[in-house]
């Protein structure tokens, strides 16, 4: 509920406005004294202030000036007599949002107050949004306590305040764009735009237009002038993802933009000065591409002023519990589920898996598990097949033993899931199921009885019937 403070030395006006505003659903406080009103403002937060200009002891203009020092964002509406319009105009210059002249229309004042409260609400929401964006992308919120992530955090803290070009390397899914955003939102450029462009997602002709913009008529379909990302990111940060995918011609134009701080739109002969900090990223070995003649060496050195690598998940397994907990909470909240934890067996599987898709793959696996799981614990049967398989030959993955882990429980759960999957693929034929699992028919029957796995198909029922008649 919005809270309004009214200051006027006429009690009749205070009483009238209190009744009118309370009917509108606003909380109202009133003061006949300017001094007492100042005391109230020092103790409480108000969403809007209404003050008469002419009052004994302290004028409305003085109240306005003092309020603006204490709470600069509070909207103030002034009430003035007909002969003091000049003072009302001065009040507007001093920060008041509007004024009404006595005798005023109640409906007119209600409209002014409603507008002031709405503007206040939008301003607060905008401030909160900016605060959340900054919080979301500051390096402190990039999860990790491993040595490699601490090194990344420390470097980001050092380089964020500079304007140096940065090259972030690392496998797909390691969080290169998150690191770039963290650099932006901890830098002096954070009040301006962070613009992201995937250079590998567009053909050369469109990429040039996206980067540098174009003028109307420069090519078929160019029906209007368009700003490129260099201009959109003016005074901010331009993140160029998959920089290694750019063509030789685009590389030449990028090099010129970085060197000269100017660009030329497609179809134009005019130079446009740009000021955007460049953060580039790649999952490729650019030095190898230079040797192959696929990437310009001069552009590489222009980009590689400061560089660092985002470590793959398999090299920072100490961060696994933090990441798992974060993604579990995120998707439980989004899907309105009350899953309490990941089972120790699942955590063990996570710890032994090689995570070729890195943190992005982990997030996708947990999102899927939360969507599928119907209990309060994520179990093995909520995991995709790929994660349940062992690391491929030649891959190394460290085992993660979660507190409370039980090997027999893990083996039992794995066995049940493999039996269920094999039965499904065999269409319920138990002999084919046993063959798929590489065990004898009797062993399969023993395990089905042990785990209490019910028959799934008519084929199984018929098979059991034939078995009973054979005795």
Q: In terms of domains, do 355 and 305 share one?
A: no
Compute the average pLDDT of residues 235-264. 95
Rounded Cα gap, residues 453 and 444, in angstroms? 11
Q: In terms of domains, do 160 and 298 share one?
A: yes
Residues of the chain with pLDDT > 70, as a percent, come to 89
Rounded Cα gap, residues 27 and 167, in angstroms? 54
Q: In terms of domains, do 433 and 379 share one?
A: no
Q: In terms of domains, do 157 and 274 share one?
A: yes
Q: In terms of domains, do 147 and 278 share one?
A: yes
Q: Could you report the per-residue pLDDT of 391-427, keeping only the tens digit for each?
A: 544 444 445 555 566 777 777 877 887 888 788 778 7
Q: In terms of domains, do 340 and 469 share one?
A: no
Domain count, the chain: 4
Please report which confidence band the pLDDT of residue 35 belongs to, taking 50, 70 and 90 as the band edges. Answer: confident
Rounded Cα gap, residues 216 and 469, in angstroms? 84
Query: 410 versus 142: which is more confidently predicted?
Result: 142
Compute the average pLDDT of residues 143-166. 92
Last residue of a domain, one of 364, 390, 405: 405
Q: Which residues pair with 262 in a beta bridge?
A: 273
Q: Could you report the per-residue pLDDT of 43-59, keeping only the tens digit for each?
A: 888 999 999 988 887 88
Compute the average pLDDT of residues 60-75. 89
User: Is residue 84's pLDDT more than 80?
Assistant: no
Is the CB of residue 165 less than 8 Å from the CB of residue 305?
yes
Predicted confidence at residue 272, as pLDDT, reads: 92
Compute the average pLDDT of residues 209-221. 87
Give the structural domain span for 172: 139-311
Q: What is the mean pLDDT of the chain?
A: 87
Q: In terms of domains, do 151 and 259 share one?
A: yes
CATH number of domain containing 12:
3.40.50.2300
Last residue of a domain, one of 405, 420, 450: 405
User: Is residue 286's pLDDT more than 70?
Assistant: yes
Please report which confidence band the pLDDT of residue 181 belongs to, taking 50, 70 and 90 as the band edges. Answer: very high
Last residue of a domain, one of 405, 427, 444: 405
Predicted confidence at residue 386, as pLDDT, reads: 86
Residue whose C-alpha is closest to residue 195's, from 213, 170, 220: 213
User: Is residue 455's pLDDT more than 80?
Assistant: no
Q: Is 308 helix (H, G, I), strand (E, B) or coil?
A: strand
Compute the average pLDDT of residues 298-312. 96
């Amino acid at each position: 509920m919005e809270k309004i403070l009214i200051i006027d030395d006429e009690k009749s006006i205070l009483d009238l406005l209190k009744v009118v505003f309370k009917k509108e659903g606003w909380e109202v406080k009133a003061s006949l004294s300017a001094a007492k009103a100042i005391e109230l403002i020092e103790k409480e937060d108000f969403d809007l202030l209404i003050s008469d200009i002419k009052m004994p002891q302290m004028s409305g203009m003085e109240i306005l000036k003092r309020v603006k020092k204490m709470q600069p964002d509070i909207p103030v509406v002034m009430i003035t007599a007909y002969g003091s319009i000049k003072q009302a105009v001065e009040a507007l210059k001093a920060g008041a949002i509007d004024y009404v002249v006595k005798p005023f229309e109640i409906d007119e004042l209600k409209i002014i107050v409603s507008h002031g409260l709405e503007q206040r609400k939008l301003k607060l929401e905008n401030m909160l949004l900016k605060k959340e964006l900054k919080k979301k992308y500051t390096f402190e919120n990039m999860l990790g306590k491993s040595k490699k992530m601490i090194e990344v955090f420390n470097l980001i803290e050092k380089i964020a305040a500079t304007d140096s070009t940065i090259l972030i390397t690392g496998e797909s899914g390691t969080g290169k764009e998150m690191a770039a955003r963290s650099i932006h939102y901890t830098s002096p450029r954070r009040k301006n735009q962070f613009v992201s462009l995937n250079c590998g997602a567009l053909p050369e002709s469109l990429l040039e237009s996206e980067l540098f913009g174009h003028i109307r008529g420069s090519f078929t379909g160019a029906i209007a002038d368009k700003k490129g990302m260099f201009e959109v990111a003016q005074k901010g940060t331009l993140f160029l993802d998959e920089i290694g995918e750019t063509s030789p011609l685009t590389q030449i134009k990028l090099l010129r933009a970085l060197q000269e701080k100017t660009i030329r739109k497609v179809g134009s002969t005019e130079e446009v000065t740009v000021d955007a900090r460049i953060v580039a990223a790649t999952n490729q070995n650019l030095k190898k591409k230079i040797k192959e003649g696929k990437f310009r060496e001069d552009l590489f050195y222009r980009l590689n002023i400061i560089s660092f690598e985002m470590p793959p998940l398999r090299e920072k397994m100490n961060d696994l519990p933090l990441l798992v907990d974060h993604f579990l909470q995120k998707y439980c909240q989004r899907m309105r589920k009350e899953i309490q934890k990941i089972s120790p067996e699942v955590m063990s599987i996570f710890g032994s898996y090689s995570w070729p898709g890195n943190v992005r793959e982990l997030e996708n696996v947990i999102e899927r598990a939360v969507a599928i799981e119907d209990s309060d614990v994520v179990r093995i049967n909520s995991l995709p097949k790929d994660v349940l398989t062992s690391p491929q030959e030649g891959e190394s993955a460290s085992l993660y033993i979660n507190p409370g882990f039980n090997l027999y429980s893990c083996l039992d759960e794995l066995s049940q899931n493999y039996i269920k999957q094999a039965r499904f693929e065999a269409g319920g034929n138990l002999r084919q199921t046993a063959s798929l699992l590489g065990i004898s028919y009797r062993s399969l029957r023993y395990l089905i009885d042990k785990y209490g796995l019910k028959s799934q198909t008519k084929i199984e029922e018929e098979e059991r019937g034939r078995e009973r008649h054979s005795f």
